[in-house]
């Protein structure tokens, strides 16, 4: 009789502890505690701690379906491999901004990584008044270094094509195409529109110039293989404290347009800013201008030091590229804002506003900004203008 190959099994809190011991991440006789702490839409996350030694690890496991929906919506386990490999790849360029990966198992769709429980998920922290003064400096550097390094400006064609193949991620890209770029712009059954906001949603669904520009952005997302993206860089994918920043959850990583990650960060920070009272807003609006400023500084330095393209030193070419990235980022920010108001997955900090009138005003303002960012993205020349636009609607 031949022994069968190991096959996928979903972990339980008990088998997760057994796995941690097998991997010798704790001593054999350690007393371990395990809790499933996942709060995302897709995956299981187990936190295993040894209270006596004040040590912990995280085991993230993909399920063969979408967690919040169930088995009726199958989803590739390969996303766990993509996530592990993306984190390892980012660590080559910015080890300070990602969790350390201890172990990866493609069969079980498992990533074992550093426990970041001493930090807070940024969306949650921003909602409770934290400002994370270094957040945008760290994210700007994370973005510039990972995106430049994986672009045609830093890599030869063969090397880049191999990396793009490694991060071929069509099922997860399709989720973004549907839930960010398509469904929120139509009266689709997966949308989640507060009844009183329905007239505003209907305006959007009938707005031909908006639909045209949104379609162009979707096509840019699908076809512009400019660099290796994180692919899901909202504020729920970032852990931080006042000193430290760590990016998690790159299961949507793929070769796409450089502006996409930047746009998602800007959109979600802007939504948190809108959800705040006026006196707490400036600290978050700072992150919108600063993330771009730091991105430009870091990207420009790398361009001058490492650009492999023969065109690199042509006057105006870097500025042209930066302007193109910014225009995309503004448009993608608009798409992300619209989907967080009308689509399936809302921004938790806005949903948490209890007072109906206030929450609806925030959503109306967000929708107006999202529309303007999409339609008029080429007119925005700087992040200060995005902030001005926000200040005009509130
Ligand atoms: P999903 O892909 O399902 O969204 P995430 O990677 O975003 O999963 O993780 C879901 C939650 O699990 C996070 O919001 C966080 O609370 C917790 N978590 C994930 N990774 C870690 C980590 N390395 N350290 C501590 N907690 C983590
Ligand atoms: Mg997540
Ligand atoms: Mg995820
Ligand atoms: Mg372009």
Look at ligand 1, atom 17, and give the residue with the nearest C-alpha: 38
Instruction: For the chain, give the percent of residues with pLDDT over 90.
Output: 93
**Is 13-114's fold the same as 120-393's?**
no
The 3-state DSSP class for residue 47 equals strand
Give the Cα separation of 316 and 327 in Å (integer).
Answer: 16
CB atoms within 10 A of CB 384: 14
Q: What's the CA-to-centroid distance between 40 and ligand 3, angstroms?
A: 6
Axis crossing angle, helix 208-223 with helix 317-342, rounded to the nearest 10 = 120
39 has pLDDT over 90: no
Tell whether residue 162 is among the known ligand binding residues.
no
Looking up tokens 């502006």, which residue turns up?
259
Q: Is the CB of 249 under 6 A from ligand 1?
A: yes
Q: Which residues are registered as beta bridge partners of 125?
A: none
Task: Tell me which residue has tokens 């929120």.
Answer: 184
Q: Which fold, 13-114? A: Phosphorylase Kinase; domain 1 (3.30.200)
Give the number of the ligand closest to the Cα of residue 247. 1
In CATH terms, the superfamily for domain 120-393 is Aminoglycoside phosphotransferase (APH), C-terminal lobe (3.90.1200.10)
Position 199 confidence tier, pLDDT thresholds 50, 70, 90: very high
Looking at the CA of residue 117, tell me the nearest atom of ligand 1.
25
pLDDT tens per residue, range 104-137: 999 999 999 999 999 999 999 999 999 999 999 9
pLDDT tens digits, one per residue of 206-240: 999 999 999 999 999 999 999 999 999 999 999 99
pLDDT(315) > 80? yes
Closest residue by Cα to residue 205 from 221, 234, 184, 190:
184
**Do the annotations mark residue 43 as ligand-binding?**
yes
What is the average pLDDT value for the chain, to the nearest integer? 96
Global model pTM greater than 0.95: yes
Is the beta carbon of 113 within 6 A of some atom in ligand 1? yes
The structural domains of the chain, with segments of one domain joined by +, span: 13-114, 120-393
């Amino acid at each position: 009789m031949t022994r069968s190959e190991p096959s996928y099994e979903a972990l339980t809190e008990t088998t997760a502890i057994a796995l941690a011991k097998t991997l010798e991440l704790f001593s054999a006789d350690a007393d371990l505690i395990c809790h499933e702490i996942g709060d995302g839409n897709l995956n299981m996350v187990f936190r295993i701690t040894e209270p006596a030694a004040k040590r912990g690890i995280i085991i993230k496991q993909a399920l063969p379906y979408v967690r919040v929906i169930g088995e009726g919506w199958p989803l590739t386990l390969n996303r766990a491999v993509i996530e592990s490999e993306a984190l390892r790849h980012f660590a080559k360029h910015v080890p300070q901004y990602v969790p350390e990966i201890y172990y990866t198992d493609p069969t079980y769709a498992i990533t074992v990584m550093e426990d970041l429980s001493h930090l807070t998920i940024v969306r949650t922290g921003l909602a409770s008044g934290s400002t994370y003064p270094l957040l945008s400096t760290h994210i700007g550097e994370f973005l510039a270094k990972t995106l430049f390094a994986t672009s045609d400006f830093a890599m030869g064609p063969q090397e880049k094509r191999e990396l793009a193949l490694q991060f071929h991620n069509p099922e997860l890209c399709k989720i973004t195409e549907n839930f960010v770029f398509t469904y929120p712009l139509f009266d689709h059954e997966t949308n989640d529109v507060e009844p009183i906001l329905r007239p505003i949603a209907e305006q959007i669904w009938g707005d031909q110039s908006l639909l045209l520009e949104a379609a162009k952005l979707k096509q840019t997302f699908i076809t512009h293989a400019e660099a290796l993206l994180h692919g899901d860089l909202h504020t729920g994918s970032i852990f931080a404290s006042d000193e430290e920043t760590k990016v998690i959850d790159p299961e949507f990583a793929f070769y796409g347009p450089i502006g996409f990650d930047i746009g998602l960060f800007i959109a979600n920070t802007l939504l948190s800013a809108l959800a705040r009272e006026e006196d707490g807003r400036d600290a978050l609006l700072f992150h919108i201008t600063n993330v771009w400023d730091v991105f430009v500084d870091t990207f420009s330095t790398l361009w001058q030091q490492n650009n492999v393209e023969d065109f690199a030193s042509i006057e105006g070419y870097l500025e042209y590229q930066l302007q193109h990235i910014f225009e995309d980022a503004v448009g993608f920010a608009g798409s992300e804002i619209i989907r967080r108001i009308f689509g399936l997955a809302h921004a938790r900090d806005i949903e948490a506003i209890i007072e109906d009138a206030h929450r609806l005003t925030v959503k109306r303002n967000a929708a107006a900004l999202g529309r303007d960012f999409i339609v008029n993205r080429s007119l925005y020349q700087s992040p200060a203008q995005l902030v001005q636009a926000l200040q005009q609607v509130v």
